[in-house]
Amino acid sequence: MALKTEKEYLDTIRKMKPRVYIGGKWVDNLLDNPVTRSMVLANAAIYGLAEDPAHKEVMVASSHLTGEPINRNLNVARSIHDLDMRQEMALLTSQTVGTCNYRCVGCDALNSLASTTWEMDRDLGTNYNERFNKWLAYAQANDLAVSGAITDAKGDRKKRPSQQDEIDTFVHLVEKRDDGIVVRGIKVSQSGAIGSHETLVLPGGALREGEEKFALAFAVQNSAPGLSYICQYNAYSAEREMCDDEYELGNPLYGQRETSTMYFDNVFIPWERVFLCGETKYCGRMVTRFAKAHRMNCGGACKVGFADLIIGGTLLAAEYIGVDKVPHIQEKIIDMLRYSETSHACAIAAAMRGREEPKGSGVYLPDDLFGNAAKLNIAHGFWEIIKNAGDIGGGLVVTMPRIKDLEDPEVGPALKKAFGAVAPAEKRLKVAKFLQHWSAGLHGPGTWHGAGAPQTQRFMFTVLTDFEAKKKMAKKIMGLKD
Amino acid sequence: MEKTPISPLGEGDTEVIALVVNGQLWGLYEGLAGTFASFAYACLAKNTLPGYAAEDILAGADRAGRRLTLTIRGRRSREELAAVMDKALVNIVAFPGGKGEACCVIEAAAET
C-alpha cells in the first residue's frame, strides 16, 4: 500500500518511541504530551490531505521508481509540473495546518540527494544513487514520514569543524564497520523529527579536503538507540501544557512550529542508508540543491499559506469591530496581500524556470534566483504582514484575557460588555488569540531563519546576478561611452 | 518526462526477519536491507531494544551470524513478549509482513 491514511500513520506513531525530552521531562508517549501531540496531529493532517480527492493533483504523485501513486512528500521532481505541484503543496499544507508540513524538509532533502548521488555515481563510480533509490522505494512503499536535519550546532563560527573545541558541534564519523558507520554530533532547529519514521541527515555546508569525517549524508530511523531529541520549550509550550481546553489556544490542534535539537550519541547507520561518506567535494552542492528547493517551498510558498491565514484572521478582526470598510484598513490588507502574492508568484516562477540538474539525472530543481527572491521577499514581508495584523487586530491581540473568563460568574459579564462589538466577545477574543499566535509567537523569527537567514539569499543574489550586464544595458540606452 | 520504473526493490534489497518467540515462529517482518544490522547493534552495543531507551528491558543478547537471541527482562507471556518485539521492530522501521524466506532470525524469550 503506497499511500497511508491519516489513521494508519497514527497507528505506527503510537508504537514509535523515540527518546524525546521536553520542558524538563522525558516523553513517554508522543500522543499523550500536549505539545508533541500537536506536531503529530499536524503530520497526520498532511496524510489526510492526500486522501482527499480534491487535493489529489497536488498531494499525490507517481513514483519514478515504481510507477505507483505516492505521497508527493516522497516524490523526486522529474518535470516542471512536479516542481509546480511541489510549491502548491507547500501552500496547501500551510493553509491547512497553520504550522510546518513536517515532511517538507525531508522532501527537499531527498530531491537534493537524488540529484547529487546521481552525480557522484557518474563522476566517482560509487553506488550511492542505487542505494538511495532503494531506500526511497522502501520509504515510498511504506509512505514513511521523513523529516530532514541539515543545520549543525556549529560552535565558534570563526573555526572550521575540525578546529572546534567541541567536535560534537558537527555531526561526524566515529567508526566505519563492515555493516555500516557510527556517527555522533548535534543537529539543531530540526522540525518534526520526533513524529517522523526517519530523518534524512545532510552535511550542514560546504566542506574542504581534510574534513572528510564531517562529510556525511544518511537516513536514520528515528528511534535508533543513541539518538535523542531535546525539544524547544517556550511560553507557547507552557501555555499548551497548562491549559485545560485547547480551544483557548491560537492554533488549537496543530500548535506553533515544533523543533528539536538532535543529539547523535554513537548512532549506527547501516551502509544501505548511507548516501555520502567522505566525499567533501559534493557537500556544498548537496546543501545548495537542498536550499534551492527549500527556498521555493519553505521559504516562499509555505509562508504564503501562513499569510493567507493571517489575512483571513485580520479581515475577521476588522469585521467584528465594524472597520472592515474603512479605507486605510483596506489599504493595509492590500499591502499584506502584496507581500504574500508576490512571494507566491516568485515561487511559481522558480518552479516554471526549473531545470534538470545535473543534465541526464532526470531530477528537476527550481530556479535559484526566483527561489531566493521568494524567500527574501517573504522574510521581510512577513514582518509587515504581522505588523498590519497587530495594527488592525488592535491592542486586544496582546491584552486579552482568557476566552473562558467570559463564563466566569464574577468577571464574565463585565468582559462580555467590554469586548462585545459588532460580533460577540467570544468571537473577538478567539480571533485576537489567533492573531496573537502569529504576531507575538515564534513565526516571525522562524520565517526569517527557515530555509536560511536573509543574508544567505542576499549573498546568492550577488552570485546569481550579472551586474555588468545591467550596467551595459543602462550605458547603451544612455549612449554613455566607456 | 516519461515515468519509467528504474529501480524497484528487488530480492536482497529488503530483509525478511523471522520473529521467534519462546521457540516458535510468531511472524515475519520486512525492513530495508541493513535493518537486522541496526537491530543487532542496538541490542549488542547499546544493550537495549529500539524504542525502549527509557527502559532497562534487555537482560541478554547474543548474535550468531544472522540469528539474534534475546532475553527480555521480566516474566512475560508469549503475547506480551511478541508485543514488545513488535514495537521494537516497528521502531527500527520494519513492518509486519514479508514474502519469501526469512534471511535472519530474531529470537526472544523472557527471563526465567
Q: Contacts of residue B4 in chain A, CB cutoff 8 Å?
A: 64, 67
Q: Considering only the beta carbons, identify the residue of A66, A221, A266 that sits closest to B38.
A: A221
Amino acid A23: pLDDT: 96
Q: How far apart are CA A218 and CA B32, in angstroms?
A: 14
Cross-chain residue pair B51–A16, CB shorter than 8 Å: yes
Q: How far apart are CA B68 and CA B72, in angstroms?
A: 13
Cross-chain residue pair B6–A78, CB shorter than 8 Å: no
Helix A368-393 with A454-464: angle, nearest 10 deg: 140
Instruction: Give tens-digit pLDDT for A328-365.
Output: 999 999 999 999 999 999 999 999 999 999 999 999 99
Give me the count of residues in chain A.
482
Amino acid B1: pLDDT: 42
**Is B83 at the interface with chain A, CB within 8 A?**
no
Instruction: Give tens-digit pLDDT for A137-196.
Output: 999 999 999 999 999 999 999 999 999 999 999 999 999 999 999 999 999 999 999 999
Predicted confidence band of residue B7 (pLDDT cuts 50, 70, 90):
low
Q: How far apart are CA A151 and CA A258, in angstroms?
A: 16
**Nearest one of A106, A322, A264, A67 to A195, comparing CA atoms:** A106
Residue in chain A nearest B49 by alpha carbon: A225
Amino acid A2: pLDDT: 81
pTM: 0.96
Pairs of residues, one from chain A and one from chain B, whose beta carbons lie less than 8 Å apart: 113
* Residues 6 or more apart in contact with residue A275 via CB below 8 angstroms: A113, A117, A128, A131, A132, A135, A217, A218, A219
Confirm if A386 and A444 have CB atoms less than 8 A apart. yes
Omega before A424 within 30 of 0, i.e. cis: no
In A347-376, the residues whose Cβ lies within 8 Å of chain B are 362
Instruction: Give tens-digit pLDDT for A20-39.
Output: 999 999 999 999 999 999 99
Give the position of cell 513536517: A102
Q: Contacts of residue A142 in chain B, CB cutoff 8 Å?
A: 93, 95
- For chain B, helix (H) and strand (E) counts, in that order, are 2, 6
Predicted confidence band of residue B3 (pLDDT cuts 50, 70, 90):
very low
**B44, B68, B91: best to mutate for the A interface, most A CBs within 10 A:** B91
Predicted ipTM > 0.85: yes
Mean local confidence (pLDDT), A200-226: 97
Instruction: Give tens-digit pLDDT for A38-96.
Output: 999 999 999 999 999 999 999 999 999 999 999 999 999 999 999 999 999 999 999 99
Task: Please tell me which residue, A300 or A317, carries the higher pLDDT value.
Answer: A317
Confirm if A386 and A310 have CB atoms less than 8 A apart. yes
Q: How far apart are CA A194 and CA A192, in angstroms?
A: 5
Mean pLDDT of chain A: 96
Amino acid A1: pLDDT: 56
In A159-218, the residues whose Cβ lies within 8 Å of chain B are 179-180, 197-198
**Is A75 at the interface with chain B, CB within 8 A?**
no
What is the grid cell recorded at B1? 518526462
Measured CA to CA in angstroms, residue A18 lies from A13, A231, A444, B88 at distances of 10, 12, 29, 11
Q: How far apart are CA B31 and CA B96, in angstroms?
A: 9
Cross-chain residue pair A273–B32, CB shorter than 8 Å: yes
Integer-rounded Cα Rg, in Å, for chain B is: 15
Q: Contacts of residue A134 in chain B, CB cutoff 8 Å?
A: 7, 9, 13, 32-33
**Is B30 at the interface with chain A, CB within 8 A?**
no
Cross-chain residue pair A17–B53, CB shorter than 8 Å: yes
Give the DSSP H/E element, type plus range, for residue A44.
helix A34-51
**Nearest one of A400, A405, A350, A406 to A373, comparing CA atoms:** A350
Give the position of cell 491584552: A399
What is the grid cell recorded at B8? 524497484
Confirm if B56 and B109 have CB atoms less than 8 A apart. no
**Is A26 at the interface with chain B, CB within 8 A?**
yes
- For chain A, helix (H) and strand (E) counts, in that order, are 17, 14
For residue B111, the distance in angstroms to the closest alpha carbon of chain A comes to: 22
Confirm if A378 and A302 have CB atoms less than 8 A apart. no
Amino acid B8: pLDDT: 67
**Is A21 at the interface with chain B, CB within 8 A?**
no
Q: With a cut of 90, say whether residue B98 has pLDDT above it.
A: no
**B6, B16, B44, B93: best to mutate for the A interface, most A CBs within 10 A:** B93
**A142, A177, A199, A223: best to mutate for the B interface, most B CBs within 10 A:** A223
Cα Dmax for chain B? 61
A217's torsion region: left (phi>0), alpha (psi -120 to 50) or beta? Answer: beta
A201-213 in b/e form (b: 16+ CB < 10 A) is bbbbbbbeeebbb
Instruction: Give tens-digit pLDDT for B10-68.
Output: 878 999 999 999 999 999 999 999 999 999 999 999 999 999 988 999 999 999 999 99
Q: How far apart are CA B35 and CA A223, in angstroms?
A: 13
Residues A280, A358, A170: CA angle, nearest 5 degrees:
25
Pseudo-torsion of CA A125, A73, A440, A259, nearest 10°?
-50
Q: Contacts of residue B42 in chain A, CB cutoff 8 Å?
A: 224-225, 268
**A79, A121, A128, A272: best to mutate for the B interface, most B CBs within 10 A:** A272
Q: Considering only the beta carbons, identify the residue of B5, B86, B95 that sits closest to A65.
A: B5
Please count the CA atoms within 13 angstroms of the CA of B107 that sit on its side-chain side.
12
**Nearest one of B47, B35, B18 to B91, comparing CA atoms:** B35
In B33-62, the residues whose Cβ lies within 8 Å of chain A are 33-35, 37-38, 41-42, 45-46, 48, 50-54
Mean pLDDT of chain B: 92
Cross-chain residue pair A226–B93, CB shorter than 8 Å: no
Per cent of chain A over pLDDT 90 is 97
Instruction: Give tens-digit pLDDT for A304-334.
Output: 999 999 999 999 999 999 999 999 999 999 9
Predicted confidence band of residue A374 (pLDDT cuts 50, 70, 90):
very high
Mean local confidence (pLDDT), A375-404: 96
Confirm if A106 and A72 have CB atoms less than 8 A apart. no
Q: Contacts of residue B104 in chain A, CB cutoff 8 Å?
A: none
Give the position of cell 516542481: A83
Q: How far apart are CA A32 and CA A55, in angstroms?
A: 30
**Nearest one of A220, A219, A222, A230 to A196, comparing CA atoms:** A222
In A139-158, the residues whose Cβ lies within 8 Å of chain B are 141-142, 144
Instruction: Give tens-digit pLDDT for A119-135.
Output: 999 999 999 999 999 99
Give the DSSP H/E element, type plus range, for residue A435.
helix A425-439
* B109 phi and psi angles, rounded to 5 deg: -145, 155
